Structure 1
Amino acid sequence: MTNRSSGNRRGAALLLSATLAAPLLTGCGGSGAAPVVVRASAPATLTPVDPAQVTAVSSATSAFGLDLLHALAGTPDGASRNLVLSPSGLAAALAMVLPGARGATADELAKALHTGLTPQQYALAAGALDRRIPPTDGLTLRQADDLWAQQGFPLAQAYLATLAAAFDTGVHTTDFKKDPDGSRRKVNQAVEKATDGRIKDLFNEKQITKDTRLALTDALYLKAKWASPFKHAHTSDQPFHRLDGSTPAVSTMRQNSTFRYAEGSGGILGEPWQAVELPYADGGLAMDLIVPAQGGFAAFSKALDQAQLDRILGGLGDRQIDLTLPKFHFDTSNDLVPALHVLGVHAAFDNRADFTGLLGPGTSERLKVSAVVQKATIQVDEDGTVAAAGSGVVMVPAAGAPTKAVQLRIDRPFLFLIRDTTSGRSVFLGQVTDPQAR
């Protein structure tokens, strides 16, 4: 497992498998033994990533996240439920898949990810984004990417080298064929550990089987303090207007302070809206809250795209805000295969799949993706935010402020995103329709 919270890339140049001459994985004696991590050799000095490509992938990841949110909210129960997802987490997992894809399989994945970069360029830029924010006293942001392979399954040296250069990671070997349940527990435990225990059982027993050849995971953990914390004494029960018209009393925070704020009405989005940005203590991350007018949430959310989101965020300016915000804490678990189908990814999941770019010599076995899952959790209270996400891919054989305060009562469904305020990349994204729902 690779922990990139410190932003230090030195480990990627000091690779463990200097004796690995061929692109064939040599693994542990069985799934009961400790997994062996295999890495490809890499240059002593890594090639710098083009800043323009990092910016492009940041923007692409945010657009990808909105597409996923729309796809999930478009399901029969999706529009009315709380949702949290990690665009950057799933994008990183797919960035490990993309360099092995060829033909239509690669084209569909790249289109869904909104990128015109080569797979190697995309992976390198995604890895650079993951390392961008170092930890501080007020912020912990960890992201770990891993690939688990069937013992003895051959992977191409060039593919291993891309993983090493982009994510400073190797390949854990295990025996899915002999002990799929034991292997599944190891993968899940690694994700659970990387997310400080917040994401448990990422894969279920139907997703990791004796037919599994590869399992790719991204684990993301965030703990951040508000730059301007809410005072616990100011928290009280206030009504929240659910989509069904009910108004339960929910635990609601309040403070009057200067925040970046914007509002608008009409235009493409139709419904009036208000938006506010709450910075975290380190200054590099912030939570943006976008609140459509009462009764307008569904239409607004459906119409929101990346260009309109950019305009909203670009219009934020300092204002004195009398703000109320409900506390919320909930989990989301999503099978993302249907959502990716909506985004045009099809070939990767059937016998047309072409992942020959990751296969080493000595195998005639073709692979396809059998599962794409993500579990995420978020907790927002007076002190700040704790959030985590686990993303997984399984591969199997194929066939100037005014003095008067603006009032912003967040007492109705709203959208939120946690973003890197420098690059703009969405780290977490979601909607809150019921703060009491878990």
Structure 2
Amino acid sequence: MDPGQVAAVAAGTSAFGLDLLHALTATPDGAGRNVVVSPAGLASVLGMLLPGARGATAEELAKALHTGLDPRQYALAVGAPDGGSRAGGDQVVLRRSDDLWTQQGLAVAPEYLDTLAAAFDTGVRPVDFAKDPAGARRSINAAVEKATEGRIKELFGPRQITADTRLALTDALYLKAAWASGFKPANTSERPFHRLDGSTPSVSTMSRTGALRYAEGSGGIVGEPWQAVELPYAGGGLAMDLIVPAQGGYTAFSKGLDQAQLDRILGGLDERSVDLTLPRFHFDTANDLVPALRSLGVKAAFDAPDFTGITGITAKEPLGLGAVVQKATVEVNEDGTVAAAGSGAGVAAMAAPAAPESVQLHIDRPFLFLIRDTADGRPLFLGQVTDPQAS
């Protein structure tokens, strides 16, 4: 893979992640809850789907993913980083696995399978959605649970895999990483934490002082003051970045944060001596991502889908995107971080389009008219008729 394409896809995935986070926190209920998403996980699932999409379906998916690459090149780039896994002894473990689950006997286009094999090292795992959707769902969920060390259970719910499902695409991501320099448990204490609603509970808070990459600023696109710090994991290849708006400024800052601003914040990190406190946290998030994707402009995949690149244009059943789900978990403590995510998309057989009903048009009222060049669309004449008898 061209390193430039891999870097471009990484930046696009980051922008996609910000879009996703904004969509999930756009409501008052969403804005006030903890949220963790895996942009890389969902980008992988949609990256597996994209080579099979055509027309507006492909265009909308590509736009949401912030990519202008050919679908095959995008798949190769999104599947390229770390080869799906990274290990550093007991210090850092990063594993990713991608699977394509298909209805037994479904004919899948060889070109589509070749792309998935080259990009994601993914073969076909046949199940019988039509006759045993519950059994198929159990198999898929069990594979994701195993790949995430038991952290992600029941990725797909009972109504998300049905007898109409023909394919399911899944990504499982698991990370266990120790800090390069950990927090001493003896320094952990109860400290106040200021919630958005104004309440101030005491929470278990870690503490350390030392050299870390740090930045601060205000103004710019977001306009709110902020501080940022980077906590590296062992081995130097991974890090956690924390961005902290000033008290009272979180809502405005988070809504205004875009990829350009994020790039400026991370680009400004420089080594400083930092007296840092950080609450311990551990929570899970489960999201039905269909509404979020729709808000990002992915509509044709659900409403007027064209996935003929998966099964070919002569397939008996048209396919459409159904469920898109993600479950994620993150735990941060004195030793480091354990995080996992399962992402999935179900592709179902769509009902054949109904024959159009006959219509009636009696022009018995004022009307507009247009005379145009159909080759280039130029309007030659445009007018209205309010009285046919008038001269």
The TM-score normalised by the length of structure 2 is 0.88
Taking the aligned partners of 2:109 and 2:75, their CA distance within structure 1 comes to 16
Taking the aligned partners of 2:310 and 2:20, their CA distance within structure 1 comes to 26
* 2:260 aligned counterpart, secondary structure: helix
Cα separation, partners in 2 of 1:130 and 1:339, compared to 1, 3 Å: farther
* CA deviation vs aligned residue, 1:43-79 (integer Å, no higher than 9, x gap): xxxxxx1111111111110010000000001023111
* CA deviation vs aligned residue, 1:81-102 (integer Å, no higher than 9, x gap): 0000000000000010000000
Taking the aligned partners of 2:11 and 2:34, their CA distance within structure 1 comes to 24
> In the alignment, is the contact (CA less than 8 A) between 1:154 and 1:361 conserved in 2?
no
> In the alignment, is the contact (CA less than 8 A) between 1:156 and 1:361 conserved in 2?
no
Partner of 1:265: 218
> In the alignment, is the contact (CA less than 8 A) between 1:93 and 1:391 conserved in 2?
yes
Amino acid at match of 1:168: D
**Which of 254, 262, 282 is equivalent to 1:329?**
282
1:28-427 to 2 correspondence within 5 Å?
Answer: 49-131=1-83, 134-137=86-89, 138-350=91-303, 352-360=304-312, 363-399=315-351
Amino acid at match of 1:373: V
Amino acid at match of 2:139: K
Partner of 2:369: none
Taking the aligned partners of 1:373 and 1:75, their CA distance within structure 2 comes to 19
Amino acid at match of 2:107: P
Deviation at 1:266, TM superposition (A): 2.2
Taking the aligned partners of 2:125 and 2:2, their CA distance within structure 1 comes to 29
Deviation at 1:361, TM superposition (A): 7.5
* 1:189 aligned counterpart, secondary structure: helix
* 1:271 aligned counterpart, secondary structure: coil
Deviation at 1:269, TM superposition (A): 1.2
Deviation at 1:129, TM superposition (A): 1.5
Deviation at 1:342, TM superposition (A): 1.0
Taking the aligned partners of 2:7 and 2:258, their CA distance within structure 1 comes to 18
* CA deviation vs aligned residue, 1:247-283 (integer Å, no higher than 9, x gap): 1000000001110000011232111100000000010
Deviation at 1:182, TM superposition (A): 0.8
Q: Percent identity?
A: 71
> In the alignment, is the contact (CA less than 8 A) between 2:84 and 2:97 conserved in 1?
no
Cα separation, partners in 2 of 1:130 and 1:179, compared to 1, 3 Å: farther
Amino acid at match of 1:101: A
* 2:29 aligned counterpart, secondary structure: coil
Partner of 1:22: none
* 1:192 aligned counterpart, secondary structure: helix
Q: Does 258-267 or 187-196 show the bigger shift?
A: 258-267
> In the alignment, is the contact (CA less than 8 A) between 2:212 and 2:271 conserved in 1?
yes
Taking the aligned partners of 1:397 and 1:130, their CA distance within structure 2 comes to 34
> In the alignment, is the contact (CA less than 8 A) between 1:154 and 1:362 conserved in 2?
no
Deviation at 1:187, TM superposition (A): 0.2
Higher relative contact order (CA 8 A, sep 6+): 1
Taking the aligned partners of 1:359 and 1:266, their CA distance within structure 2 comes to 51
> In the alignment, is the contact (CA less than 8 A) between 2:84 and 2:96 conserved in 1?
no
Deviation at 1:362, TM superposition (A): 6.2
Q: Does 360-369 or 65-74 show the bigger shift?
A: 360-369
Taking the aligned partners of 2:84 and 2:133, their CA distance within structure 1 comes to 36
* CA deviation vs aligned residue, 1:262-310 (integer Å, no higher than 9, x gap): 0011232111100000000010100000000111000000000000000
* CA deviation vs aligned residue, 1:158-186 (integer Å, no higher than 9, x gap): 00000111111101001011111011000
Amino acid at match of 1:395: V
Deviation at 1:360, TM superposition (A): 4.5
> In the alignment, is the contact (CA less than 8 A) between 2:18 and 2:258 conserved in 1?
yes
* 2:287 aligned counterpart, secondary structure: strand
> In the alignment, is the contact (CA less than 8 A) between 2:24 and 2:292 conserved in 1?
yes
> In the alignment, is the contact (CA less than 8 A) between 2:97 and 2:147 conserved in 1?
yes
Taking the aligned partners of 1:171 and 1:133, their CA distance within structure 2 comes to 20
Taking the aligned partners of 2:2 and 2:41, their CA distance within structure 1 comes to 21
Partner of 1:425: none
* 1:344 aligned counterpart, secondary structure: coil
> In the alignment, is the contact (CA less than 8 A) between 2:216 and 2:228 conserved in 1?
yes
Structure 2 residue ranges without an equivalent (≥5): 352-391
* 1:83 aligned counterpart, secondary structure: coil
Taking the aligned partners of 1:126 and 1:300, their CA distance within structure 2 comes to 29
Deviation at 1:364, TM superposition (A): 1.8
* 1:166 aligned counterpart, secondary structure: helix
* CA deviation vs aligned residue, 1:361-417 (integer Å, no higher than 9, x gap): 862211000110000000000000000000000011124xxxxxxxxxxxxxxxxxx
Partner of 1:415: none
Amino acid at match of 1:205: P
> In the alignment, is the contact (CA less than 8 A) between 1:130 and 1:143 conserved in 2?
no
Taking the aligned partners of 1:287 and 1:242, their CA distance within structure 2 comes to 22
* 1:134 aligned counterpart, secondary structure: strand
Taking the aligned partners of 1:213 and 1:170, their CA distance within structure 2 comes to 16
Q: Which has the larger radius of gyration?
A: 2
